[in-house]
Structure formats: structure tokens, C-alpha cells
């Protein structure tokens, strides 16, 4: 039976530009898509979205599971494919795998598999066990232990669970160039997240251009389809919240490293494995693993690997067919790449002419598409709203005594 005649749709948990790329991928094949989000973002306005639902609280809340079960029965979404977009929602679905899997078809494996990607402490352990290079990392239990660590600066203070710091202050990591700065940044992190989540990690020299990824579709840990890409720019430019400009470029030496961790985990589905090339020893070092649609996955479709549709078909029993990616296309998130370009110019790392010239080529845009124009307006509004909210949250964190505002933001 053809996929489009089965009338089984997809429920996207989130409506950001990642969800938009999934909706466009599936919608162009006649597959209906529903989105659920706390705030309407770009995918909310897509012509390929047929149903829209607002959840008023955090999607990390276990009550969200009950809501999803009720929603399926009330709106005829039983056996639709459930696709979470954010790490914390991936974890929620994975931890309630059996309960949700009784009603939906899940694009997410259970937590026993995904925890190796969701918790950086476990990612570090997995890297050591598989022999994959990983940045040197320390796990002090308190600020008092910092003096005894044999650390070569600069370093960053980061959380084992990325979103716990990111959502509070819109930063993934806090840099430190000496012991005094390390103490200060550790204390700042400890005011927001628990001490057992705090990691100190060496900074690998080089900017975003030293970062590479392997995009995979896997079955039981074996990559069936894959391609590689290079991060050209990120925003912010130091410790980016995400890529803003990515180029599809072949880096075959990454495959073995990526395969080791994916096999260790036993991943089935979409997975991005991120590395950074260390110029000191010329090793690619593991940074992150995304077991959900990643920011630039729309680039893969332009290269001949339509991962969301491949995943959807596989869930419905249509095995992936071999395909060879086409390299050369680039992915651009214009709304963050322009400020990234401005930061690079201010830092003396590029010029206006060089930045403008970099934009010429075969580009795929995260949101802009003349066949589906309304998401661009929604994206601009949602980015502006989040920027203002983040600014207010950061001001509360700095002004509150003993970091109480930071704990409230995390809660």
C-alpha cells in the first residue's frame, strides 16, 4: 500500500524551524502534520500543518504525557508518528516509551538507549569505552575542589544536561581563563543547576569552522544512510546555541568515529554526531550527539537524503533504500547568520565583502521558501519574543540574591 493512502500523519512536538523542515518534508509527500507547542513558531504557520495545538506549560511536565494520550483519542491521532524536536521532550517521550507507544508510533527509542546522548557524563564514558577522542573533562563536586584540579586554561563550565543552562541564561557554556574566573563561573552555574551536573571542559582551539558532523539514519546502531557537513558559522560565534551556516562537504574519516558511538548505543532513527577538529593533535573530538531532527537537517534533503520521510516510511514498514549524497549545497539560517556575521566583523575575523561573498552559492534556507512563505513572518516574531524574554531572564538572574531567579527559571 502506498504511504500517502494510509492517511497516517505525524505529530510534531515543537514548531520551530527544525519542525518546519520535518513538516515540509512530510507534507510534500501528502502526509498530514499536526504541531504542538507552548508558543507558535515558524512551523505553526506552514501550509503543510493541518492541526495546531497549544500546551500552556513546560513540555517537560509529566502532565504533558496525559495530554498527548487524551489528544490522540479526541482528535483521531491514534497511530500517528510522534516526533519530538527538543532534547527535553525527547527525554520525556523516551521515559514514557511504553505508555505513549500504546497510542502513537514513536520516532524515539526508550531512555536506556538515548540517555547516552542526553547526559554528557555518559557521553564522556561512552567515548572512553569506544576509544573515540573526547575533550578533557573534570567533574568537581564543589567550588572547593577547583584548586586541586590540574587544569590548563582556558576552559568552559557547562552542564551535563545542556538545556538546563541554556534555557535559564541562553548560553551553553561559561568560559574561564584563570582560576578566579573559574570560581566565579562555577558559582554562577551552581546557582542555576545542581553541582553534580556541572562539568569543566578544555576548550578546543579554533572557531565554528573546526566543527563537523555526521548525519545518519540508523537501524539498530548500523548507519544505513549518512553524509557529512561542516559548520561554517554559528551564533553566538564563541559557544553557539546553534549553527547558522552549514556546508555539505565529504569528510569520510569521521565515519568510523561516528559508527563506534552509534553502535554502542544501538541507535535506530535519525542521529547527528558532532565533532571538532583539534589542531593541536589533529584529532576529531566528539562534542555532541543529537537523536532527533537537528537544526540543519533540511540540508540533507537537498543532498538527496530526506531523513524525516525516510524515518516515517521505515516506521510504517518501508525499509530505507540505498542512496549516495550529493555534496556542495549549504544551509543558512538567515535570522541568526546576519548577527553572527556582524560579530565576526567586529572581532576582525571577516569583512563585509567577504561575508557577502560567502552567501553566494546553492543555499537551502531554514525558513525562507516561496512555496511556503508564512513561516518566515512567524519565525521573525518568535525570535524577537524569545530574545526579549531571554534578556529579561538574564537580568533577573544577575539581580536576584544567591541566584534564586536562576533556579526559578530552571524550574
- The pLDDT value given to residue 299: 98
Strand partners, 199: 158
pLDDT digit string (tens) for the chain, length 411 residues: 344 445 899 999 999 999 999 999 999 999 999 999 999 999 999 999 999 999 999 999 999 999 999 999 999 999 999 999 999 999 999 999 999 999 999 999 999 999 999 999 999 999 999 999 999 999 999 999 999 999 999 999 999 987 777 777 777 889 999 999 999 999 999 999 888 999 999 999 988 789 999 999 999 999 999 999 999 999 988 876 789 999 999 999 999 999 999 999 999 999 999 999 999 999 999 999 999 999 999 999 999 999 999 999 999 999 999 999 999 999 999 999 999 999 999 999 999 999 999 999 999 999 999 999 999 988 877 777 766 776 776 676 566 655 444 443 333
- The pLDDT value given to residue 398: 65
The answer to whether residues 304 and 326 touch, using CB atoms and an 8 Å cutoff, is yes
| Alpha-carbon torsion (338, 342, 345, 349), positive or negative | negative
Q: What are phi and psi of 320, to 5 degrees?
A: -60, 145
Classified as helix, coil or strand, 252 is coil
289 and 172 assigned to the same domain: no
**Is 160 contained in some domain?**
yes
CATH number at residue 92: 3.40.50.20
Q: How far apart are CA 174 and CA 161, in angstroms?
A: 14
Final residue before a domain boundary, out of 108, 123, 158:
108
**Is 345 contained in some domain?**
yes
Domain count, the chain: 3
263 and 301 assigned to the same domain: yes
197 and 327 assigned to the same domain: no
**Is 121 contained in some domain?**
no
- The pLDDT value given to residue 184: 95
199 and 225 assigned to the same domain: no
Q: How far apart are CA 29 and CA 48, in angstroms?
A: 10
**Is 125 contained in some domain?**
no
**Is 380 contained in some domain?**
no
Q: How far apart are CA 406 and CA 323, in angstroms?
A: 47
Q: What percent of the chain has pLDDT over 90?
A: 81
The answer to whether residues 245 and 343 touch, using CB atoms and an 8 Å cutoff, is no
Cα 226 from chain centroid (whole Å) = 17
74 and 213 assigned to the same domain: no
- The pLDDT value given to residue 125: 97
CA angle 300, 333, 379 (to 5 degrees): 115
**Is 123 contained in some domain?**
no
**Is 248 contained in some domain?**
yes
- The pLDDT value given to residue 4: 43
- The pLDDT value given to residue 380: 79
Residue (of 182, 202, 200) closest to 135 by Cα position: 202
**Is 377 contained in some domain?**
no
98 and 171 assigned to the same domain: no
266 and 232 assigned to the same domain: yes
Structural domain range at position 196: 136-203+385-410
What strands lie across the sheet with 211-219, from one edge to the other?
A: 283-290, 269-278, 211-219, 222-235, 242-248, 330-332, 363-365
264 and 403 assigned to the same domain: no
- The pLDDT value given to residue 410: 37
Q: How far apart are CA 109 and CA 120, in angstroms?
A: 18
Which three cell numbers mark 165? 543552562
Reported pTM:
0.90
237 and 278 assigned to the same domain: yes
196 and 227 assigned to the same domain: no
Q: How far apart are CA 222 and CA 220, in angstroms?
A: 6
Q: Summarize pLDDT for 160-191 with one digit per residue, the tens.
A: 987 777 777 777 889 999 999 999 999 999 99
233 and 362 assigned to the same domain: yes
Q: How far apart are CA 198 and CA 196, in angstroms?
A: 6
Q: Summarize pLDDT for 224-235 with one digit per residue, the tens.
A: 999 999 999 999
88 and 216 assigned to the same domain: no
Strand partners, 212: 230, 275
- The pLDDT value given to residue 407: 40
Amino acid at each position: 500500500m502506498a504511504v500517502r493512502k494510509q492517511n497516517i500523519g505525524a505529530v510534531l512536538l515543537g514548531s520551530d524551524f527544525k519542525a518546519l523542515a520535518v513538516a515540509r518534508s512530510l507534507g510534500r509527500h501528502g502526509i498530514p502534520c499536526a504541531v504542538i507547542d507552548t508558543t507558535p513558531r515558524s512551523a505553526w504557520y506552514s501550509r503543510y500543518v493541518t492541526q495546531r495545538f497549544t500546551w500552556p506549560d513546560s513540555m517537560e511536565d509529566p502532565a504533558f504525557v496525559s495530554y498527548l494520550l487524551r489528544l490522540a483519542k479526541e482528535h483521531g491521532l491514534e497511530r500517528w508518528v510522534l516526533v519530538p524536536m527538543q532534547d527535553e521532550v525527547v527525554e520525556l517521550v523516551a521515559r514514557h516509551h511504553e505508555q505513549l507507544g500504546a497510542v502513537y508510533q514513536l520516532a524515539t527509542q526508550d531512555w536506556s538507549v538515548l540517555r547516552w546522548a542526553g547526559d554528557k557524563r555518559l557521553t564522556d564514558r561512552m567515548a572512553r569505552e569506544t576509544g573515540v577522542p573526547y575533550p578533557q573533562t573534570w567533574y568537581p563536586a564543589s567550588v572547593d575542589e577547583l584548586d586541586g584540579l590540574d587544569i590548563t586554561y582556558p576552559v568552559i563550565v557547562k552542564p551535563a544536561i545542556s538545556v538546563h543552562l541554556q534555557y535559564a541564561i541562553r548560553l551553553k557554556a561559561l568560559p574561564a581563563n584563570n582560576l578566579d574566573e573559574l570560581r566565579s563561573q562555577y558559582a554562577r552555574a551552581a546557582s542555576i543547576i545542581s553541582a553534580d551536573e556541572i562539568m569543566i571542559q578544555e576548550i578546543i582551539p579554533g572557531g565554528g569552522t573546526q566543527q563537523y558532523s555526521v548525519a545518519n539514519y540508523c537501524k539498530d546502531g548500523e548507519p544505513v544512510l549518512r553524509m557529512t557537513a561542516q559548520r561554517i558559522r554559528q551564533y553566538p560565534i564563541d559557544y553557539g546555541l546553534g549553527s547558522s551556516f552549514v556546508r555539505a562537504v565529504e569528510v569520510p574519516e569521521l565515519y568510523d568515529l561516528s559508527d563506534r558511538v552509534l553502535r554502542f548505543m544501538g541507535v535506530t532513527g535519525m542521529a547527528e554526531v558532532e565533532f571538532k577538529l583539534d589542531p593541536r593533535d589533529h584529532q576529531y573530538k566528539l562534542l555532541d550527539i543529537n537523536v532527533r531532527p537537528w537544526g540543519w537537517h533540511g540540508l540533507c534533503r537537498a543532498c538527496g537524503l530526506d531523513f524525516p520521510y525516510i524515518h516515517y516510511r521505515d516506521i510504517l514498514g518501508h525499509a530505507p533504500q540505498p542512496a549516495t549524497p550529493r555534496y556542495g549545497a549549504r544551509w543558512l539560517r538567515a535570522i541568526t547568520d546576519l548577527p553572527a556575521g556582524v560579530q565576526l566583523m567586529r572581532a576582525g575575523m571577516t569583512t563585509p565583502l567577504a561575508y557577502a561573498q560567502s552567501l553566494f552559492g546553492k543555499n537551502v534556507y531554514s525558513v525562507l521558501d516561496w512555496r511556503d512563505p508564512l513561516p518566515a513572518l512567524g519565525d521573525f516574531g518568535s525570535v524577537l519574543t524569545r530574545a526579549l524574554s531571554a534578556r529579561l531572564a538574564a537580568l533577573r538572574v544577575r539581580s536576584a540574591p544567591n541566584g534564586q531567579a536562576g533556579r526559578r527559571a530552571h524550574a
